[in-house]
Amino acid sequence: MPAAPIYLDHAATTPVRAEVLQAMLPYFGASFGNASSTHRWGREARAALEEARERIARCLGARAEEIVFTSGGTESDNLAILGAWRAHRTPERKAIVTTPIEHKAVLGAVHQAVREGGTERNVPVDAHGVVDVAAFEALMTPDVALCTVMWVNNEIGTIQPIERIAPMAKGAGALFHTDAVQAFGKVSIDASRVPFDILTISGHKIGAPKGIGAAYVRRGTNIEPLFHGGAQDRGRRPGTENVAMAVGFARACELATEERDDDCSRVERLRDRLEEALLGRIPDAVVHGRGAKRAPHILNISVPGVDSESMLMALDLAGVACSSGSACQSGSVTPSHVLTAIGVKPDLASSAVRMSLGCLTTDDCVARVADLFPALIDKARRLSGVG
């Protein structure tokens, strides 16, 4: 019997948890009402939606009215950045401060703001992908409208010092947004303690379905909607609300919050075990971000002389799902913008493989990958004449 496949791509998406699916089922059946309707079916849907909003808010140390439901991380980031920048900009205050290692959803929204007359300023990061705090503070000039820095990097797992830099932005009169898609369930997030204005999360990273996310928008923070039409979500996100998904997302948020400490300890132990095993078997391998504080679930490793796309295909054929530190654009493979920004040379960046651990990862998975990955590296090097 062939060995069971191994899923090491939890940073890309996670399976829907049974508890989440169970919570959603009634809203695909008898409780099908539109939350904007005033009859009994609509009132029932509205009650479930607002309860979901309240439950997510509790997980973030927030108020229910500060939670805006979206379709996921990309929409949340665009609403946060474009919505807040458009509402807050003035002729004298229109700059956006960000980093070169943000998710493409953030960078794309920033670039759109630039097309609309904004200016972009990048905070340098060190070789491990950590923001230069002194450089960030120096950029907090009176013309800055918005700062956006992700809490946990999706490629290398580096944790940014959000608690330190968010107050700097506030002191300069700028809004502060953080993409917490990879952070939620991995680090403690408390809106009552850290003064971010907007924070974005996504359901499918924590056991909810794809297609649901949220933006936390601190009370008193104005944002312009991306869409226009109805008055749902206080006009911040018009459109018929997806009640079933909101309910499932709320349950996933609660589970992620309740289980965070134990789950992070388990995953970090497995990640560290896998990392040490691979570095022991492949002496010239490089783990990106290793010198910084990292979220527990991400291991990004490069092996000189081995192409990541070839390795991903070999791993897939061997029953192991991972992802690449490279992006395929127009038929050509280009190095990851994150790895390039932290100073990784193109040939090494093009060999990066991201292994992200989670609910499906076991000790047996780690042991098998620790044996399989070096063997595939050896084979790839023999075929290419390297090593």
> How far apart, in whole angstroms, are the C-alpha atoms of residue 126 and residue 118?
26
Residue 326 has pLDDT above 70, yes or no: no
Percentage of the chain lying above the pLDDT 90 cut: 92
The pLDDT of 340-360, averaged and rounded, is 96
The pLDDT of 119-128, averaged and rounded, is 98
pLDDT at 333: 60
> How far apart, in whole angstroms, are the C-alpha atoms of residue 41 and residue 34?
7
pLDDT by residue (tens digit) across 71-95? 999 999 999 999 999 999 999 999 9
**Which token pair is 221?**
């923070």
> How far apart, in whole angstroms, are the C-alpha atoms of residue 212 and residue 197?
21
In this prediction the pTM is 0.95
DSSP state of 157: -
Residue 386 has pLDDT above 90, yes or no: no
Greater pLDDT, 63 or 332: 63
Residue 132 has pLDDT above 90, yes or no: yes
pLDDT by residue (tens digit) across 189-245? 999 999 999 999 999 999 999 999 999 999 999 999 999 998 888 889 999 999 999
> How far apart, in whole angstroms, are the C-alpha atoms of residue 47 and residue 305?
57
Please tell me the least confidently modeled range out of 134-138, 197-201, 326-330: 326-330
pLDDT at 325: 56
Q: What is the DSSP string of 220-277?
A: T-----SS-S--GGGGTS-S---HHHHHHHHHHHHHHHHHHHHHHHHHHHHHHHHHHH
Residue 328 has pLDDT above 90, yes or no: no
The pLDDT of 165-169, averaged and rounded, is 98
Catalytic positions: 328
Residue 329 has pLDDT above 50, yes or no: no
The pLDDT of 130-154, averaged and rounded, is 98
pLDDT by residue (tens digit) across 14-23? 999 999 999 9
pLDDT at 1: 63
The DSSP bridge pattern shows strands 213-217 and 198-202 to be antiparallel
Angle at CA 321, nearest 5°, toward 129 and 311? 75
pLDDT at 327: 42
Residue 383 has pLDDT above 80, yes or no: no
